[in-house]
């Protein structure tokens, strides 16, 4: 899997100082409890790169940890080379939300049915707290 790209200046404002970034990102991932044990987070302020290590209980848990970290303002990339996880179980696609999007519109695009938006919401509950509050530049999972 390796490296995931994100929009660095978009996302949840979580830290004000670079020296507190890694601890705050780790706390944010752990508070959502996506299924990662022994989590360790490193943050490089020059590049905005976050490196995650630990053990994920599933590929989905790894994906959620990546999205939680990546959708934080100041993060441009998330690397998971040291985050152990089982092989990918379910095919998943990632989508970068654009201006004018809502979950129904995204569901219509990917599934052909706007009423399937709850599937997208449930797959991203750790990143999207309210189905009506998504923003351009946010990256989400689109389960098949």
Between CA 136 and CA 140, with CA 137 as vertex, the angle to 5 degrees is: 100
Beta strands 3-5 and 77-84, pairing class: antiparallel
The torsion angles phi and psi of 75, rounded to 5 degrees, stand at: -100, 125
| Residue 141 and residue 74 in contact, taking contact as beta carbons nearer than 8 Å | no
| Residue 11 and residue 138 in contact, taking contact as beta carbons nearer than 8 Å | yes
What is the maximal distance between C-alpha atoms in the chain?
A: 45
pLDDT at 86 (0 to 100): 76
How far is it, in rounded angstroms, from Cα 136 to Cα 7?
10
Query: Which residues make beta-bridge pairs with 93?
Result: 142
Q: Read off the pTM.
A: 0.89
In order along its 144 residues, the chain shows pLDDT tens digits of 568 999 999 999 999 999 999 999 999 999 987 899 999 999 999 999 999 999 999 888 999 999 999 999 999 999 998 888 776 666 789 999 999 999 999 999 999 999 999 999 999 999 999 999 999 999 999 998
What are the chain's domains? 3-84 (3.30.1340), 92-143 (3.10.350.10)
How far is it, in rounded angstroms, from Cα 65 to Cα 56?
9
Please return the burial class of 107, using the count of CB atoms within 10 Å of its CB with bins 0-12, 13-18 and 19+: buried
How far is it, in rounded angstroms, from Cα 38 to Cα 55?
6
How far is it, in rounded angstroms, from Cα 34 to Cα 63?
9
């Amino acid at each position: 899997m390796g490296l995931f790209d994100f929009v660095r200046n978009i996302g949840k404002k979580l830290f004000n100082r670079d020296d507190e970034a890694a601890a705050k990102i780790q706390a944010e991932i752990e508070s959502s409890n996506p299924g990662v044990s022994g989590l360790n987070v490193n943050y490089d302020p020059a590049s905005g790169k976050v490196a995650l290590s630990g053990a994920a209980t599933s590929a989905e848990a790894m994906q959620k940890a990546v999205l939680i970290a990546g959708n934080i303002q100041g993060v441009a990339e998330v690397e998971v080379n040291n985050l152990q996880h089982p092989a990918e179980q379910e095919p998943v696609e990632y989508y970068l939300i654009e201006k004018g999007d809502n979950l129904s519109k995204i569901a219509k695009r990917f599934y052909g049915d706007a009423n399937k938006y709850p599937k997208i919401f449930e797959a991203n509950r750790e990143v999207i707290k309210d189905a009506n509050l998504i923003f351009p530049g946010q990256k989400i999972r689109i389960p098949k």
